[in-house]
Amino acid sequence: MSALVVTRDLDLWNLFCRRKRGAPDGWQWRKIETVGDHRSPREHCASVIEGGVCSVLYASGKRKGQRNWTKRDPLGDRTFVISFAEFDAFIAEVELETGSCLTCFGTGQEGRSWNIKTGVGYETCGKCQGTGLSAQKSTVTP
């Protein structure tokens, strides 16, 4: 397995489904639905992830460059149910592996707001306090 590089483009849903559920190479999610009462504790909720292997892109028109899901490989279609608790544990595992905070993707800044004129407004990451390191890496042991 190659070393995982943490960037804002890292898609943890795709990574989880490939590593933990055996989704094939090239598999991408296309629909995520939360099941359970969103007002209940996180351990009582889950996500249903649908996806497949789609390498055909639209060549022209308003969708140019986007995946053409009507031409996906039907053998690659998969649906997974992932509990929030299991996904949270996976995030902690990836943070330990990479040493980077996945809330801010190692930048120390997380998005707090968005405005049509100014774009994304960033603040210091509340999870890593701006260090960009995972909780396991930022604690110093004597």
Could you give the angle at the alpha carbon of 63 between the alpha carbons of 61 and 65, nearest 5°?
105
- Residues 85-92 have a mean pLDDT of 92
* Burial of residue 109 (number of CB atoms within 10 Å: 0-12, 13-18, 19+): middle
pLDDT at residue 141, rounded to an integer: 47
Q: What is the pLDDT of residues 26-50, one digit of tens each?
A: 899 999 999 987 777 877 899 999 9
pLDDT at residue 137, rounded to an integer: 58
Closest CA to 27 of 80, 63, 65, 105: 80
Residue 139 has pLDDT above 70, yes or no: no
pTM across the whole model: 0.77
Tokens found for residue 131: 């260090």
Measured in Å, how far apart are the chain's first and last C-alpha atoms?
32
- Residues 129-136 have a mean pLDDT of 84
